[in-house]
């Protein structure tokens, strides 16, 4: 029987990337992995409702009410409880410490809504990335899935996909296109790549 890697998806908001991962799992596109836990950094994240709709356990660990140490300690206990092998950051807006990341070498996936190294680094997340791309006047943007290391936006790039910027694009329109054409395609692919590597090791 195929040994599947246990995946935890960390979220902060609506959970559109989580939805893409859950649908990919249900369609058999992540055969070497299974999403067994969703952790939200706040109690009101709609991503928890999405998790429940797909029968996946969800838990809120309210980051703003805790110190970094307490937050990561609570998160670590949950990850251990569910025997997690892979962490996917899917719209997760809390910063993880170097110490935490070091405990998960080559096991944390992150998606960034640009072609790294463009439009990344401190303060670059969500709509801000797309606003920066439009302000710069570039013709092509995209998304990147990478393995996280101790350096923010560092780590090994696994997959990238380019997306055209069209005349008249607003940041919101561009964000949606990047999600549909790149993020929602790349995340399940990267999850399967990493889970296959783990399950066969």
Catalytic (active site) residue 112: yes
Distance CA 111, CA 183 (A): 7
Distance CA 10, CA 70 (A): 16
Distance CA 38, CA 76 (A): 13
Integer CA distances (angstroms), 55 to 16, 37, 51, 59, 179, in order: 16, 10, 6, 13, 24
Spatial contact of 140 and 162, defined as CB atoms under 8 Å apart: yes
Residue labelled with tokens 């995946």 = 7
Residues 6+ apart with CB under 8 A from 15: 38, 45, 46, 47, 48, 49, 50, 51, 90, 91
Tell me which of 32, 54, 112, 146 is the catalytic residue: 112
The one-character DSSP state at 3 is P
By annotation, the residues acting in catalysis are: 112
């Amino acid at each position: 029987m195929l040994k599947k890697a246990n995946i935890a998806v960390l979220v902060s908001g609506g959970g559109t990337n989580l939805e893409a991962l859950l649908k990919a799992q249900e369609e058999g596109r992540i055969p070497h992995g299974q999403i067994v836990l969703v952790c939200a950094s706040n109690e009101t994240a709609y991503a928890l409702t999405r998790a429940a709709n797909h029968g996946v356990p969800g838990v809120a660990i309210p980051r703003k009410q805790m110190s970094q140490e307490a937050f990561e300690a609570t998160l670590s206990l949950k990850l251990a409880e569910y025997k997690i092998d892979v962490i996917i950051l899917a719209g997760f807006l809390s910063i993880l410490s170097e110490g935490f990341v070091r405990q998960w070498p080559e096991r944390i996936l992150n998606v960034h809504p640009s072609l790294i190294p463009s439009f990344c680094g401190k303060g670059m997340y969500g709509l801000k990335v797309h606003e920066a791309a439009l302000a710069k006047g570039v013709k092509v943007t995209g998304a990147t899935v990478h393995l996280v290391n101790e350096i923010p936006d560092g780590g090994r790039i696994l997959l990238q996909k380019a997306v055209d910027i069209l005349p008249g694009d607003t940041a919101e329109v561009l964000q949606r296109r990047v999600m549909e054409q790149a993020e929602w395609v790349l995340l399940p692919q990267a999850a399967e790549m990493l889970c296959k590597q783990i399950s066969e090791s």
